[in-house]
Structure 1
Amino acid sequence: MLDTKPLSGGIRRTAAAATVALGTVAVQLAVAEEVDAPAEPPTVADLPLAISSFGAAHLDGSLYVYGGHIGRQHVHSFENLSQLFLRHPVDLDSPGPTPGWLALPPGRPLQGTALIEYDGALYRVGGMRADNPRREPGELYSVKSAARFLPEENRWQRFMALPAGRSSHDLAVVGDLLVVAGGWELRGSVEDPLWERTVLALDLKALDGDTAGKWEVLTETPIGVRANAAVGLDGKLWVLGGLDDNGDTTRRVDIYDPSTDTWVSGPELPASGSLNGFGADAVTVHGTLLVSQADGRVYSIRSGENRWTHAGDLDEQRFFHRLVSDGESLFAIGGANRSGHLDSVERHSLSDLGVEAGSPSDNAPPRGEADWTSFRNGGASTVEDSALPLAWTEPAWTVELPAFGHSGPVVWRGTAYVTSVTPDAEDAKDTLWLTAIRIADGEELWRRSWPASERLPFNQYTARAAPTPAIDAERITLFFGTGDLFATDHDGNRLWHRNLSADHGSFAGNHGVGGSVLLAGDRAVVLLARKTYSYLLAVDRVTGVERWKADREPGVSWTTPALSPDGREIVVSSNGSVEGYDARTGERLWWIPNVKSNTTQSPLITEDLVIVSGSERPANFAVRRGARGELGEDDIVWRSESTAHFASPVLAGDCIYWANAAGVAQCIDPTTGESHWQRRLSQPVWVTPIAAGERVFFFGEKGATDVLSAGARGGEVLATSRVEVDEYLTGVAPAGDTMLLRSGKLLHAVRGEP
């Protein structure tokens, strides 16, 4: 790394003050020197000058402010850039007069930059410089530079510059990644900017005194946006508000999960007038995200919640300001409003805003309220740190649903949502149902119904409400075998609706439709595989608008597509073939023809392999990911002698678990395909097993649940429990310390010995 010259001595304040000239602005500042700083009272002094569009952070009991725009709004010149880097102690132990703002070694004069703290250092990345004098045409350039400030040494230290200039962006720390999101590149003026959708990340753990680090492309934002906020919460990146690349203010919130490389839409920012989310700022503290916009209101939300809470109000309306927290207070610093730039700093108690110190930073849901969001919970069918019961004697509660169905429940924050369908006549599926049930006590919270789009045969051999819906923080996406694809909010109010029968052809066919909804970033994906046609369809999760449609070879199946761990690929295993599609465009990337009996089992995708199962032995194999075009036998990593029934495979640790039609469970080595052990179950299984820590749950078709020890040396039956059912057990969902079991018109909740 390249280091700036360090100053000698620590950071302290003298009795004398220094005047710093900023163009025509002169301000009085304390100078950092070697004397002990006096104690800090509860209030914070005003900034020495009014600024907006700057960087700010809190570190070790002090506020830090870097750069910014000064003078008249919308006037850009070198003289309108603050040349200051400031520090203000806020966490002193003893009362006393305020020490005020201290001048630190400045960096380059910038606005539209961001500052963030990580592991005892401050990081500044990008920003905008103005090369023109006042009253001359603007010569505005976004910069690539990046540096960190080391408070103990009172010096700046450069690290790897950005690949291209960027300003009007924000910084976030997600895990150990320093993330740059939003912004644009100015190349001389604001007339022809390059909007930056690329999200960059730098591994901070790999950064040391001898290493400059390396920026990597993490993902792309769903839209181009600048003057946005970005924060890390619960291991995810939140991008909030701003101005989009059409020049419109936006209230949208997009949430990116690096572990799956997928985006989802979060709840929109509350309306705040014509400016909406433009120039908003946000901060996370104690597992809560706080945001304020130009209307001066402060809103809060926690990971997994689908609504913003009005937590309080600032004393002054402001935007292009900064929100910073020390864990006890929220500081609103500088910014601008219709009266001009602001120099004020507000301090608000977090407890007054409904944020309590010591709240869990990961915002894990309470016991009994863990989420299960879709069929196989997105494809993994695993639970970590499970409190699920090992055994039970009878259900904690059983509720009767309004109608029959084969789908599994989905779970969000203590509520189960279940679909079903009622025939209004002997030969028709006419009414679609969604029911919400509180898991704690089985109380029905509400039920909603809608008429089906297509009348279809209804008998005991036809799948009835078989597709499992998918749920996120804002909506539930539902799919029915009548051609109805639609979304509701968490209160069951319909948000949009698609009649796929009218759009793309009748859903009529043998045994109905069984594939469930797959969530892939900002898209909902469904597979329709009929005798005369087949397609894979992706629609926008927010609007239902078609994003892409991939036509396939006809052939009936009831499988669900699977999303790769990196979120880039969708794999379909369906009646005669296995195919990989680009998740963003729908382009078919690779395919394996002439596969037999893969009509009910959905594929399993790991970092390296796609694992396919079927009811005949040749259909149980693994293929390595990354190949393109038509694949053949040379691309098969292994074939297994085992077969599968209706349930799909599950990978956990050193085992792939599946069960055959005779009700024999197996642990298959994911590397070789060899069987580590086999175990006869109480009953054949329709439902995909669930792996939970050191246990694997196998759900028998007639209500018996066998819990086996996990791992290559496992296979021991730890417990067997039963629930009396009149219909086949076709859907399950874990919910903290509760297991939900669905059979026909009944939903059972079992609890017991953990």
Structure 2
Amino acid sequence: MNQLLAFKPRSRRQFFGGSLNRTLSGRSLLAVFTILCAGTCDALEPSSDWLGFRGDGRGVATAGPTTLAIGDDGNRAWKRSMPGRSVAGPVIVGDLVVSTSSSGPDEEDLFITGLNLSDGVTRWEQRFRATGRPYFHPTSANAAPSPASDGERIVAFFSSNDLACVSVDGQLLWYRGLGRDYPKTGNDVGMASSPVIAGDTVVVQVECQGDSFAAGIDLATGENLWRIQRPAMSNWSSPVALSTGSSSPTVILQSREDLIAVDARSGKVQWSFDEGRDAIASATVVGDRLLSPGGDLIAYRLTGKNETPTELWRENQLSPRNASVVSDGERLYSLKGSVLLRGDLETGEIVWKTRLSGLGSTWATPVVAEDRIYVFDQTGLGLIIQDGGDEAEITTKVQLEEGVLGTPALANGKLVVRSKTMLHCFK
């Protein structure tokens, strides 16, 4: 899975113009996604907060540090030890940073910790006991999914399928033991799909070889709104929420067997493709474009809430390895092993690709601010890559004390990175 990509693989890009509207078929693991844009599309201006996995789902912020350096003369503002291990990315709400952890012999002790973004001082911490199976791969942790926030509440999910909702001041609002409610869920290498907040609904993908399902849970009460069966196979990709201009957003679910769009509040299926997608990397929504990874990266034009999307192009070189694609609305970036590629969002053409010397296995999705791409690997090596337009250059290298598997957070010009047992803030 982590083998280095040959630098010049055979390209297999196809471009679809006009109003071609089709359902895909074939044996290769393709990528897809779709929906949105009923009336108006999501704004391309990044949020000032970082409210979930990849922030607003694109992995883009307005500003970030120009270098990464530790030591007396460095720009690491603070570093804090956390109460356990984690491979989950943090979220940022104003001056609050929230990170999850798990500890103990079987990592059955679960933590949600809120800290000041400004100085790293802990504001509050909630501790729970896992109610489901705390199984995970040795390189992972029970604290694997990234939390999500609506700006007022924080929803934290764990590999044991424990789901907790707390207020931004750390008060427990509700708790669900989905592993206890549905004891045949889980897999031996761990669950890692991050929850998404879509309007007033929390959507989770609990997909595995056993009792495989997706569910919509009321954000206010923690009660099930709907639950649908999903293909019985392991899946670590995360759901994607799409604003359709209606009172109920749409959520995209993908697996190695299908792709479906469901109404976030009712769970009603709006459309589906009976074809496998990527089970690790997640889709990316950028304005009226939806990018889906798989054997190819496929770009779709988003149309109406219940309308099948239109395929625009596909390019196999741009489909990522483990990390998801990020895009600012013009440029898209894809990481394949140690090779970073920039593509054109409109055409799927490759603008440049560069090998990132020294980069090891990567699970964290890159994040972007202005013309800078921030990449971290499993050893803790961090890079800043400067996008020069027609070429790229590594401008910064930093080696953290331990490995990074969770996607960093960017907000208010600061980069917050969760390593195995520590939280780091660069300014």
- Does TM, scored on the shorter chain, surpass 0.5? yes
- 1:552/1:626 CA distance change after superposition, 3 Å: farther
- 1:591/1:715 CA distance change after superposition, 3 Å: farther
Q: Distance in 1 between matches of 2:258 and 2:85?
A: 32
Identity over aligned residues, as a percent?
Answer: 27
Cα offset, 1:459, TM superposition: 5.2
Cα offset, 1:628, TM superposition: 9.4
Q: Distance in 2 between matches of 1:458 and 1:599?
A: 16
- 1:442/1:455 CA distance change after superposition, 3 Å: same
Q: Output aligned runs, 1:164-313, within 5 Å.
A: 260=42
Q: Output aligned runs, 1:378-417, within 5 Å.
A: 378-384=56-62, 386=63, 388-394=64-70, 395-417=76-98
Greater CA drift, 475-484 or 723-732: 723-732
- The answer on whether the counterparts of 1:704 and 1:720 sit within 8 Å (CA) in structure 2 is no
Does 1:672 find its partner at 2:347? yes
Q: Residue deviations 1:61-105, cap 9 Å, x none?
A: xxxxxxxxxxxxxxxxxxxxxxxxxxxxxxxxxxxxxxxxxxxxx
Q: Output aligned runs, 1:478-489, within 5 Å.
A: 478-489=156-167
**264, 276, 289: which one pairs with 1:583?**
264
- The answer on whether the counterparts of 1:485 and 1:498 sit within 8 Å (CA) in structure 2 is yes
- 1:383/1:530 CA distance change after superposition, 3 Å: same
- The answer on whether the counterparts of 2:42 and 2:288 sit within 8 Å (CA) in structure 1 is no
Q: Distance in 1 between matches of 2:347 and 2:287?
A: 16
Q: Residue deviations 1:498-520, cap 9 Å, x none?
A: 12123233333131111112010
**192, 200, 204: which one pairs with 1:526?**
204
SS of the equivalent of 1:456 reads: coil
Q: Distance in 2 between matches of 1:534 and 1:695?
A: 39
Cα offset, 1:668, TM superposition: 1.7
TM-score (norm. length: structure 2): 0.80
Q: Residue deviations 1:670-708, cap 9 Å, x none?
A: 222221110112414322222212333223333333333
Q: Distance in 2 between matches of 1:580 and 1:429?
A: 34
Q: Distance in 2 between matches of 1:694 and 1:259?
A: 24
Q: Distance in 1 between matches of 2:49 and 2:306?
A: 37
Aligned residue type for 1:602: S
Cα offset, 1:559, TM superposition: 0.9
Cα offset, 1:735, TM superposition: 2.9
RMSD: 2.8
Q: Distance in 2 between matches of 1:703 and 1:532?
A: 34
Cα offset, 1:260, TM superposition: 4.7
Does 1:697 find its partner at 2:374? yes
Aligned residue type for 2:161: G
SS of the equivalent of 1:666 reads: strand
Q: Distance in 1 between matches of 2:211 and 2:296?
A: 22
Does 1:622 find its partner at 2:269? no
Q: Distance in 2 between matches of 1:687 and 1:375?
A: 10
Q: Whose RCO is larger (CA < 8 A, sep 6+)?
A: 2
SS of the equivalent of 1:510 reads: coil
Q: Distance in 2 between matches of 1:733 and 1:393?
A: 17
Cα offset, 1:462, TM superposition: 4.6
Q: Distance in 1 between matches of 2:349 and 2:137?
A: 40
- 1:438/1:466 CA distance change after superposition, 3 Å: same
Q: Output aligned runs, 1:443-454, within 5 Å.
A: 443-454=121-132
Q: Residue deviations 1:235-286, cap 9 Å, x none?
A: xxxxxxxxxxxxxxxxxxxxxxx8759xxxxxxxxxxxxxxxxxxxxxxxxx
**722, 734, 737: which one pairs with 2:413?**
737
- The answer on whether the counterparts of 1:462 and 1:510 sit within 8 Å (CA) in structure 2 is no
Cα offset, 1:492, TM superposition: 2.2
User: Unmatched 5+ residue regions in structure 1?
Assistant: 1-217, 220-257, 262-363
- The answer on whether the counterparts of 2:367 and 2:375 sit within 8 Å (CA) in structure 1 is yes
Q: Output aligned runs, 1:655-670, within 5 Å.
A: 655-661=331-337, 663-670=338-345
**650, 668, 673: which one pairs with 2:326?**
650
Residue 331 of structure 1 is matched in structure 2 by none
Q: Residue deviations 1:564-615, cap 9 Å, x none?
A: 243632112222322222233222222223325x11101112343321113x
Q: Distance in 1 between matches of 2:200 and 2:310?
A: 32
- The answer on whether the counterparts of 1:453 and 1:501 sit within 8 Å (CA) in structure 2 is yes
- The answer on whether the counterparts of 1:665 and 1:680 sit within 8 Å (CA) in structure 2 is yes
Residue 27 of structure 2 is matched in structure 1 by none
- The answer on whether the counterparts of 1:565 and 1:605 sit within 8 Å (CA) in structure 2 is no
Cα offset, 1:619, TM superposition: 3.8
Q: Residue deviations 1:1-27, cap 9 Å, x none?
A: xxxxxxxxxxxxxxxxxxxxxxxxxxx
- The answer on whether the counterparts of 1:476 and 1:490 sit within 8 Å (CA) in structure 2 is yes
SS of the equivalent of 1:433 reads: strand
Q: Distance in 1 between matches of 2:110 and 2:413?
A: 30
Aligned residue type for 2:286: T
Aligned residue type for 2:314: R
Aligned residue type for 2:69: T
Q: Distance in 2 between matches of 1:489 and 1:518?
A: 16
- The answer on whether the counterparts of 1:378 and 1:518 sit within 8 Å (CA) in structure 2 is no
SS of the equivalent of 2:97 reads: strand
Residue 171 of structure 2 is matched in structure 1 by 493
Aligned residue type for 2:254: S
Q: Output aligned runs, 1:86-101, within 5 Å.
A: none
- The answer on whether the counterparts of 1:378 and 1:562 sit within 8 Å (CA) in structure 2 is no
Aligned residue type for 1:609: R
Residue 594 of structure 1 is matched in structure 2 by 275
Cα offset, 1:473, TM superposition: 3.2
Q: Residue deviations 1:406-447, cap 9 Å, x none?
A: 111111221211101113x3xx33211011222222222232
SS of the equivalent of 1:731 reads: coil
Aligned residue type for 1:416: V
Greater CA drift, 695-704 or 482-491: 695-704
Cα offset, 1:465, TM superposition: 0.5
- 1:627/1:595 CA distance change after superposition, 3 Å: farther
**406, 410, 420: which one pairs with 2:101?**
420
- 1:629/1:555 CA distance change after superposition, 3 Å: farther
Q: Distance in 1 between matches of 2:179 and 2:380?
A: 35
Does 1:613 find its partner at 2:288? no
Q: Residue deviations 1:142-178, cap 9 Å, x none?
A: xxxxxxxxxxxxxxxxxxxxxxxxxxxxxxxxxxxxx
Cα offset, 1:378, TM superposition: 2.9
Q: Distance in 1 between matches of 2:42 and 2:300?
A: 20
Aligned residue type for 1:418: S
- The answer on whether the counterparts of 1:647 and 1:687 sit within 8 Å (CA) in structure 2 is yes
Does 1:708 find its partner at 2:385? yes
Q: Distance in 1 between matches of 2:417 and 2:211?
A: 34
Q: Distance in 1 between matches of 2:53 and 2:185?
A: 21
Does 1:571 find its partner at 2:252? yes
Q: Distance in 2 between matches of 1:706 and 1:430?
A: 33
